[in-house]
Structure 1
Amino acid sequence: MDLSVEVEADLYPDPWPHLPAELRESILTQPGLTWQDLVHLSQTCRSQRQWMFHPARQTGLLWQIHAGRAYPLLLNTSSPSSGEPINWLARLQIRHRCQIRTLNTLQSFSGRFFHRLDLSNDEIDEALQSLEDDFDIHDLVDAFETFLTRPDQRSHLTSHYYAQKVVQRIKHRLDTPYWQAFPDQLENQEVCHEAQIYLQAAVRLCQWFRTETRITFTPIQNKVDGIRSRVIEVLELTQPDHPVLERYRQHQTQTHPYALSDLKRLILVVNQVLFEEEQFQGNDQAYYQPENSFLHELLERKLGIPISLCLLYMIVVLDLGVDVAPLNFPRHFLIRIQPSEGAEATLYLDAFAKGRLLGISDLRRMTTFPLQSDMLSPVGPLDLFRRMTRNLTAFYTGASENSGSLESYSDLRSCFELMILLGGENEIPEFALIKTYLQLNINHRQIRQELDRYQRIMERNGPGPMGAVIQTMKRIVQGQEEAITTDATKVEVKTRSLLRDASDQFGYGRLCVGLICQHKMYDYKCVVYGWDPTCVASRSWILQMGVNKLPHGADQPFCNVLVEDGSIRYAAEDNLEPVPSDSMIAHPLAGKYFSSHNGRVYIPNQELQKVYPEDLDVLNAFLFSPLPYVKQ
């Protein structure tokens, strides 16, 4: 027996058990350590395990720090109503199980919905049911959002694609009660003087349309408060006698009848801060882009349109007690500011023109219609956000007609769903939503319910042309449902042997799914996600696109490609040149077909490999031996 070992152990005992708890916690919460490291460490020693999992640690700083490090939103957890401390270890364990379950759910989606253009609400709700039984809905949102915010955007593309669908559905469900109550909340309120109502609705609008981005209220409010604080700071330096200052110091935000001269002095300062210091401006170059309508993007990009700039202007000055209201002026949104002197002294402000004050003669020149009193009547938040939604609807309608992309139809769907919640004087949104659902081949149960409602109305009002339209739509729904059932059991497999004749005769058949290519004529970059041995498009399309003018016309492979502008195109192999690229193709459907991007090409996911079982070998051959794939 080696006595020197025992002597050395006695001389240098293990110091860890004798360290103060605060020092142990400090060591175990050092940057770089994860909660998994703590679990592994606990398995090395029973006393260590007992100390780490003691109730005092579970509710203390040790597990709170690791819970927040792994899942930051856990730190927003409210204390139990019983007043007991939060068990951070238990919260971390539940949240981790939630993460694993959400991953399993997403991995099942590709096999179930690969052949679907989009996902129906009922299909997502059914998939979420067991998760919602076991986990808090906000934990689920956080878990699915982690797939959208991964640092490595080249991997897990398929999980990212389906996570976007799920997050959109959950967030819309959570926000629906707010928008349903919005019209009733403001029904008897012609003019609203509460900045918080405008601000909250503006943030909710961003969340409704930008579900892939984690948008929260507090950072946006802090930016707006910062602008307002700067206005106060400039006032104190330049106009210390201004009446706004005293009311602001006393936290009086109620509307106050300021004199005309005081309002003009205030407007000068607000314009200085917003348009000179902060450099907000109207986006003349890309007026109709949807980014101009969203408050969080306006605060970031400093570019907007009349309605969004007016909204920001009002939110800033409302809490200063200014009697300000939106003016739903034809074709150009304005702000009405009311001084204490009465209606004759009313001010009209154009935020798009950097806060320019307008007179009646200016207003007459801004419209092709005779100027009427109702054009100068202020409106409330409901009409403002209805108009913002109509603006977005107009943009996405044009985008869907021009590109036909899934993303534009999905955004259009969000527009119509929100328009219905906000209410209106007609039923155009409902009927337009039905057509959008049909275009996306989703939500057939909701379509049937709406068509039945229309049919009952038609029966009460007597026969008319709409009856035939409704019956036609019902037949389309039935056909789509039957096709979904058929597609679920039918997989068309395409092997490379289909390309053999074209390859032997003309040297074709070098392209495969996953290759990034550049179009020789139109210069766009794209990724191949499917191919046909010859062109299967209609004769009229072939003539219209000039396919017959190509060296081998339609008798060559044609590829389905996802284009960098978000569109989907059908291109001849003659026109596509492989260009392995480190840059990814920013297309919303990339994750539907590909699992990752390896720095040169896209890797087909399991479902796409079932359709093109031999293309992965061709893709690998291209990566390691590119020269044979250059057409001679």
Structure 2
Amino acid sequence: MLPLDLYIAILEQVPAHRTESGAVTLINCLRTSTQLRAAASLGSLWKSHYKIRYLRSSESEARQPHSGESQAQHNWYLLYAERRRKDRVALELLDQMVAQRQGRYSAAKKLAAMSFDIWDALDIECMRPVPILDGSTVSAAPYALTRRFWADAVLSAISKRFAIIQWGLLGNGGLSDGHSPSFVDAFLLLSCFFGRDGKTPLELRTQLLDLGNACRQWLEKQRCNLDPAMPEYDLPEICTKICQFMHEQGFGAVQASQFHDIENHFPHLYLTTNKQSIPISLVHIFVSIARHLGVSASPVEFPGRVLAHVPSPPGFDDFLVDVYGADTQPIVSLRDDIPIRLMRLGIPPNNLLQYVSPCGASPMLLRAARNILSSFRMLPMAQIAQSALYAAVCIHLLLTNEIPLVAHMLSHVDLDPLHCSTFLADLQPLLRGGGQQLLETSCRNSLELEEQEAVRVHPRTTQIQITHYVGMVFKHRSHNYVGCIVGWDSKCRASEQWQLQMNVQRLARGPNQPFYHVLSLDGGERYVAEDNVAPTELTGGLAQQCLQAVPILPRYFSDAFTHPESCRGRWRLSPESKFAYPDDEHFAQLYDEYGVV
């Protein structure tokens, strides 16, 4: 046995790693001798391991106390132990979701409720190794592709649920009361609807903080006085220079041809790739920087273009800032400029107050939702991003009573059972009247249909002749697109109207032939008659192309045998697909062995 301080010195050298490889060494030490256990349970040893693994928590994202961690906030060992306990629960629930479709969304609901406390564990699962797509053995968890798919889906649900709960705190016209999110924070939540493709509020808040600090340094180099107590303090000059700083950082008015780009509405994009953006987005950045510098700026719902309101010291007029038009003159006078602007818009300047008063998060969110819908009108329906549409739908449900509009929007979103059981379930209690009833009915119908589908099995029998199988790749005989079979019916189950529209009766075998549920390489979901299916080879390159183009593919498949290792190449089934089509994998193996079935 070695002295305790020597054990501690040795364990301090154990490197921290996000995948917990270093922490496992400490955990193993806890299970050995009394001396090693005493050394390994020293709180300071666990700090680096905690910091590198756990980047997010419900507390940090919401800026609210979290009882589970506050009890142990000065003991990194206890912190790590508590988070690791939650990780184990989360990963067991994830295993259930992967293994079987029945009960999947009950597990998802529990996972979503654990919020950002399990984000890191699931995020790490999304980065685990996956099989090489040639049928060879690699160091990967069973059903790695499918597991990664569901981990990512749950993270997306957690992110959306967080936004819904925070927006549900808005009151008093959206003006923050210390408990509800401010305008700046409420807008950051828009990016939550993009899951891992977006950024969490903490990441975006940090990005805005860095931008504010950079602006402070820039202003100080410009010898701009930022102390309101000093006589040199010039508020209009400071606001003008903030606009100049934003311009130097690449922020500015978007080109007219790109004004309706859907990406202009979401912070994780207009803070990075879409810095040339629309007025409301630029005002969001301006207000964040100004408040960081001690300037009480707020958005103004001015007709046509969102402006920023800045209150002046006693004895001076308040003024507005036109961030979008900052290249000309950003400072807008309430006395001289606003009446002229209103007249140009055909609005009599009778009641200036309603057009120049600062507003909170709710009116701005609703305006953002309407902007998102306007962008949709400029795009073909196939290009509409479900994430963006969900953001607009949820905002309208929360902040308006426009039930016909919301009903129309709901008809265009994918009411996936995962959504219905997680963030949409948390949205329902926040609604009133017709909105709540509409959403409850829509979600209930989706979940009931899912319960029926989850237990449905499609066995092959001698009476049912199905030529092809789930996992097969083909080219459409008429339209030449590449598709992958994810399911089949022994005959056409589509409505008569769909059959008429698709000219099913003109097919050689009409509707009384197998029809296949298909995911096409262009991202569409199709229903294809057997007459139109021309089998093709699944190569490694095509498999990779399919995974990139069809993100939902790993729900149905966990790996692939690719041509020429396999006779024709095929996807290997996920547990869900194996249950629903129990004979198809064996059927495909027979083709591999004999070339015909």
Tell me if both proteins adopt one fold, taking TM over 0.5 as the criterion. Answer: yes
For the 8 Å contact 2:298–2:310, the answer to whether it is kept is yes
Distance 1:483 1:305, change over 3 A: same
2:46 maps to 1:59? no
Counterpart of 2:553 (choices 569, 585, 590) is 590
Q: Which residue of 1 aligns with 2:585?
A: 616
Higher mean alpha-carbon deviation, 197-206 vs 19-28, is at 19-28
Alignment equivalent of 2:6, drawn from 20, 26, 38: 20
Stretch deviating more after TM superposition (488-497 or 300-309): 488-497
In the TM superposition, what are the counterparts of 1:475-514 in structure 2 within 5 Å? 486-487=452-453, 489-494=455-460, 498-499=464-465, 509=467, 511-514=468-471
Q: Distance in 1 between matches of 2:432 and 2:215?
A: 56
- Please give the alpha-carbon distance, in whole angstroms, between the structure 1 residues aligned to 2:210 and 2:430: 46
Q: Is structure 2 residue 23 aligned with structure 1 residue 50?
A: no
Equivalent AA in structure 2 for residue 99 of structure 1: D
Change (3 A) 1:33 1:226: closer
CA spacing shift, 1:354–1:83, aligned 2, 3 Å: same
Corresponding position of 1:294: 266
How many angstroms does 1:298 deviate by? 1.7
Cα drift, residue 24 of structure 1: 1.1
Residue pair 1:491, 1:611 contacting (<8 A) in 2 also: yes
Q: CA deviation at 1:295?
A: 1.4
Deviations 1:203-257 (A, max 9, x none): 23333x23445844454334334333444444444x42x4x4444xx8x9xxx99
Report the AA paired with residue 388 of structure 1.
A
1:402 counterpart = 2:390: no
Q: Which residue of 1 aligns with 2:502?
A: 545
**Deviation, structure 1 residue 58:** 0.8
Q: Which of 175, 197, 201 matches 2:182?
A: 197
Unaligned 5+ runs, structure 1: 1-13, 458-469, 501-508
Shift of 1:529: 0.9
1:102 equivalent to 2:98? Answer: no
- Tell me what 2:360 maps to: 381
- Contact 2:300–2:306 (Cα < 8 Å) also in 1: yes
Which of 135, 156, 181 is matched with 2:169 structurally? 181
Which amino acid in structure 2 is aligned with residue 104 of structure 1?
E
Structure 2 counterpart SS, 1:210: helix
1: CA distance between counterparts of 2:47 and 2:510? Answer: 66
Report whether the alignment pairs 1:228 with 2:212: yes
- Tell me what 2:135 maps to: none
Q: How high is the TM-score relative to the length of structure 2?
A: 0.70
* CA deviation vs aligned residue, 1:25-65 (integer Å, no higher than 9, x gap): 2443377953334556787xx6xx333311x4312443444
Other-structure match for 2:242: 270
> Structure 1's 216 and 167: CA in aligned 2 closer, same or farther, altered over 3 A?
closer
Question: Structure 2 CA distance, aligned partners of 1:230 and 1:176?
Answer: 31
Q: Deviations over 1:280-305 (max 9, x none)?
A: 55265554454322212221213433
Aligned-partner Cα distance in 1 for 2:69–2:497: 67
Residues 217/174 of structure 1: CA separation in 2 closer, same or farther (3 Å cut): closer
What residue number does 1:503 align with? none
Distance 2:282 2:319 in 1: 20
C-alpha spacing 1:429/1:282, structure 2 compared with 1 (3 Å)? same
List aligned pairs for 1:92-491, cutoff 5 A: 92-109=80-97, 113=101, 119=105, 124-125=108-109, 127=110, 138-150=116-128, 152=130, 156-164=144-152, 166-167=154-155, 170-171=158-159, 174-184=162-172, 186=174, 197-207=182-192, 209-212=193-196, 215-237=199-221, 239-240=222-223, 242=224, 244-247=225-228, 258=234, 262=237, 267=240, 269-279=241-251, 282=254, 287-303=259-275, 304-322=277-295, 324-336=297-309, 346=319, 349-351=322-324, 357=330, 363=341, 367=345, 373=351, 376-382=355-361, 383-392=363-372, 402-403=381-382, 408=386, 412=389, 415-421=392-398, 423-424=399-400, 442=420, 486-487=452-453, 489-491=455-457
Aligned residue for 1:307, secondary structure, equals helix
- String of CA shifts for 1:357-396, please: whole Å, max 9, x gaps: 4866984697476777557423412311221233345667
- Determine whether 1:607 maps to 2:595: no
- Structure 2 residue identity aligned to 1:294: F
The whole-number CA distance in structure 2 between the counterparts of 1:218 and 1:488 is 37
**C-alpha distance in structure 1 between counterparts of 2:214 and 2:445, whole Å:** 61
CA distance in 2, matches of 1:163, 1:94: 21
| Partner SS for 1:301 | coil
CA 1:621–1:397: 2 relative to 1, 3 Å: farther
Q: Hey, what's the Cα distance between the residues in 1 that align with 2:443 and 2:250?
A: 52
Corresponding residue SS for 1:560: strand
- Which residue in the other structure is 2:137 paired with? none
SS of aligned partner of 1:181: coil
Structure 2 residue runs of 5 or longer lacking an equivalent are: 61-65, 133-142, 563-568
Distance 1:446 1:24, change over 3 A: closer
Q: Secondary structure at the match of 2:458?
A: coil
- Residues 198 and 381 in structure 1, CA contact (< 8 A), matched pair in contact too: yes
**Identity over aligned pairs, percent:** 20
> Rg: which structure is higher?
1
TM-score, with structure 1 as normaliser: 0.67
Could you say what secondary structure the match of 1:24 adopts?
Answer: helix
Q: CA RMSD in A?
A: 5.4
Distance 2:536 2:189 in 1: 43
Pair 1:531-2:476 in alignment: no
